[in-house]
Structure formats: C-alpha cells, structure tokens
Amino acid sequence: MATHRDVVCPFCGLGCDDLTVEEDVGRLAVRSTDCPVARERFAHTPPAEPPRVGGRAVPQEDAVRAAAEILRTSRAPLVAGLGTDVAGVRAALALAERVGAVVDHERSEGLYRNLAVFQRSGWIATTFAELRNRCDLLLVVGPDPAALHPRFYERWVVPAPAFQTPALREVIFLCGEPLETTRAVLGGVPFTVVPGEATRIGAVAAELSAALTDPTGAPPEIAGLAQRLRAAHYAVVAWTASGFPGAHADLAVERLARLVQDVNRLTRCAGLPLSGYDNVVGANQVCTWQLGVPLRTSLAGGAPRHDPHRFAWERFQHSADAVLWVSAFRPEVPAFPPGKAVVALAQPGTTFAAEPAVVIPVGTPGIDHAAHVFRGDSIVALRAGRLIDRGLPDAAAVLSAITAALPQEASC
C-alpha cells in the first residue's frame, strides 16, 4: 500500500492538484475528495492487455504495422479523439500531417461554441484564481457547471476573495438551477436563483445588456440583476457552453460575451467559459501553435485548412474511410459508422460497439506516465505525475511508432 499526495487530476479541466490517492496492488482509490469524476477515473486501472488486430492478440510491432498500413492506404483519414496529453497531441499531429488527416478532439463541440465567438468578435475573459480572489459577484448562466466540474465551487467560489474589499462574494444563478450538492457546498455564500429557460439564455443576456443603461420596461428581476452587475467591483459571468441546448448555442455565448463587454463600460466584469475535459484545451492549444489554426482542421491538401463545420469529427467520420481514435483518459470510444477501418488507441478495459481493425491499449496520462495537461481556463498547464506501472505504452510513443512505420516520403 502506497499513498500518493498532492496528485494532479487531469480529467475534467478544473486542475485540482491536491488529491490523495491510495495504491494497492496496482489499484488506485481517491481518498481526499468525493468528486465523482476523480473517483471513477482513478479507480479505472485494469491490467494491461495485449494489442489486437482483427480481434486477435498480436505483438505491439504487428499492431503498429497494421495501423500504419490502414493509414497509408486511406484516402480520407480522421485522426481524432485526441484524449491524450501534450506529448500525445504533438505525436498525433505529426502523424496526421504525414497521412493528410482531419484532426479533432472528441469534446470539441462545447469548446467550439466558445471559440466561434472568440474568432468572430473576441471577448473579455478571466481565469480561476481571479475568480477566487477578486470576484465579488459570480453570475452562473445556464446549467450548473458542477455537473461536469464537481469541485468548481469548493475550490474557486467558496473561499473568500483575498484581493477584494469587502472580502465577500455572492452567486446568482440565471437560467439554470444549482444542483443540490452545489447548494450544500456553497454553505454560507449567499446565492439567489433568477429562474429562466436555458433556451432563452441569449435573449435574457440581451435584455440584461439593455437594462444596464435603461432598465425601464425590463422585467423586475432583470432590472435588479443589471443593477447588481453595475454595482459589483469585479463580476464574473461563468457558463458551460457544452450544456447549452439548441443547434446554435454559440449565439447565446455571443450574447453573453457582449453582456460582459457592456458591463465593462461601467465597472469590471469578465467571462469564464468553462470546458476542458480530457485535455481538450491542451489539444486545441498545441494544434493552434503548431498549425496556426485550432482543432477541426484538415491537413489533406498540404496546408492546414480549418473549417469548424466540415471538419468536426462527428460530421467528418461519415466521409472518412479510416479513423485513428485516441482515448487515453476514458474507457469509452464512440460507435463509428459501419465500414470504417478503425484504429483505436484506448485504455485497457474499453468496450467497443464493434471490434476495431486495430486496438492498441495505452496508459492513462497522470496515472501510468507523467503528462502535461491544460486547465480549462486555458492559461495554466500542469504536470501530472506517474503513479503506477502497468507496462502500458503512452499514446505519444505508439503514435510516433506508427508514423515511423509509414513509408519515408514527405507529405504535409
């Protein structure tokens, strides 16, 4: 039995680095928190499995060769999932460049609802420590972020703001109800709920913007909320775009970004778009610095072409003839359309809707190997450590081996 202290949790993007994890013959158990994400993910450490080709166990080299052959002969490959650390994303991009693939992360939909707005109009944003230490009014819009990021309030909202006078904070929930667990953890932090439908987030944000300077005619709860935003020293507007309903949720995000800008004419205010599962923010960062453009990019034509619509993996999987999927954080891989040649780099114990052509089990970043991952607020990168050794390769090594097994001609 060994005890690991101050363990970095790489899973939901909140960047908790204070976990106590007990190890007992290769099994891990989180002892320091009830966070269901951390408890479930750290507990999933089944023994290593051999790679498979066509459902049959093979040596690693054979699986790597088979994967390379599939990608070599593919005319429209998709390299996606990208649930891996910075090193894994680097290796995946190098491979994608060689075979001319489309690249995307499984969780990019929520990220893109935000990025679409950023690319169109920019925004004013903030980070977790600013929220914790400076924010006197937190406006949570839409579904409670704690559903995806369970320790959000405990770590970033409940502590009193150290750099604000008075050192007090209130929380307002708008167009979304706080979870029971949230109500409990907020304890003495005053909070109110301004009810509303999540489908009306954009409209309500626009009403709020208008009421900042002219509250006449606004519903009383909107006029009151506008007044509180005006009176705040440093308001933070937080949202989880992946939970917004509707096909054009980015328009709701755009209204929120505009609201933040409007409040900034009067006092200080900043947005906090929450995302970050499975290092999606890190994958997007690496992609952006290496290619100049973010995820959802095709490398098929030689130069990067970014198209957040066409090259979203859920759309492009239907055009692709081969899929290389990386899922090192979770034992889950989507069911792909029939007839695709699938190469899965996945955790041991992953169940598949249909057996992929090639399966290569890989270790989990922050459990089997040290790993760089990004926090969901996009500024802070963390170094997660290695806790156990199941004899699993990391995704970066497997991806590099596949690239090395390709014929040595240059292509982008």
Compose the 376-405 pattern: x for residues touching another protein by CB under 8 A, - for all others.
--xxxxxx----------------------
| DSSP-derived secondary structure letter, 178 | P
Q: 108-137: which residues touch another protein (CB under 8 A)?
A: 115, 118-130, 132-134
d(CA 121, CA 258): 9
Amino acid code (one letter) for 384 = A
Which one of residues 42, 173, 234, 316 is an interface residue with another protein (CB under 8 A)? 234
Nearest alpha-carbon partner for 309 in 137, 127, 119? 119
d(CA 93, CA 297): 10
Compose the 3-22 pattern: x for residues touching another protein by CB under 8 A, - for all others.
---x-x------x-xx----
| DSSP-derived secondary structure letter, 340 | -
Q: Closest approach of Cβ 316 to another protein, in Å?
A: 18
Which one of residues 55, 217, 246, 292 is an interface residue with another protein (CB under 8 A)? 292
d(CA 271, CA 260): 6
Which one of residues 88, 143, 150, 304 is an interface residue with another protein (CB under 8 A)? 304
Do 169 and 186 contact (CB within 8 A), yes or no? Answer: no
Q: Please, which residue, 165 or 216, has the CB nearer to another protein?
A: 165
d(CA 325, CA 328): 10
Q: Collect all residues with Cβ–Cβ distance below 8 Å to 97 and sequence separation of at least 6.
A: 299, 411, 412
Q: Please, which residue, 12 or 382, has the CB nearer to another protein?
A: 382
Q: 252-271: which residues touch another protein (CB under 8 A)?
A: 264, 267-268, 270
Which one of residues 54, 61, 163, 168 is an interface residue with another protein (CB under 8 A)? 163
Q: At what angle do helices 201-213 and 249-264 cross, to 10 degrees?
A: 20
Q: Please, which residue, 243 or 273, has the CB nearer to another protein?
A: 273
Which residue shows structure tokens 């003839």?
321
Compose the 173-212 pattern: x for residues touching another protein by CB under 8 A, - for all others.
----------------------------------------
Amino acid code (one letter) for 95 = L
Q: Tell me the window of 26-34, 240-248, 298-306, 309-317 that interacts with another protein (CB under 8 A).
A: 298-306
Q: Closest approach of Cβ 132 to another protein, in Å?
A: 6
Which one of residues 29, 57, 162, 168 is an interface residue with another protein (CB under 8 A)? 162
Do 195 and 219 contact (CB within 8 A), yes or no? Answer: no
Nearest alpha-carbon partner for 130 in 301, 338, 378? 378
Do 397 and 89 contact (CB within 8 A), yes or no? Answer: no
Q: Tell me the window of 154-162, 184-192, 223-231, 393-401 that interacts with another protein (CB under 8 A).
A: 154-162
Structure tokens at 171: 């929380």
Q: Helix, strand, or coil here: 71?
A: helix
Which one of residues 25, 216, 247, 289 is an interface residue with another protein (CB under 8 A)? 289
What b/e string do you get for 293-319 counting C-beta neighbours within 10 Å, with b at 16 or more? bbbbbbbbeeebbbebeebbbeebbee
Compose the 74-113 pattern: x for residues touching another protein by CB under 8 A, - for all others.
------------x---x------x----------------
Q: Please, which residue, 272 or 322, has the CB nearer to another protein?
A: 272
Amino acid code (one letter) for 23 = E
Q: Collect all residues with Cβ–Cβ distance below 8 Å to 51 and sequence separation of at least 6.
A: 57, 58, 59, 60, 62, 63, 358, 359, 360, 361
Q: Please, which residue, 353 or 412, has the CB nearer to another protein?
A: 412
Residues in contact with another protein by the rule CB under 8 A: 6, 8, 15, 17-18, 86, 90, 97, 115, 118-130, 132-134, 155-156, 159, 162-165, 233-234, 264, 267-268, 270, 285-286, 288-294, 299, 301-306, 372, 374, 378-383, 410-412
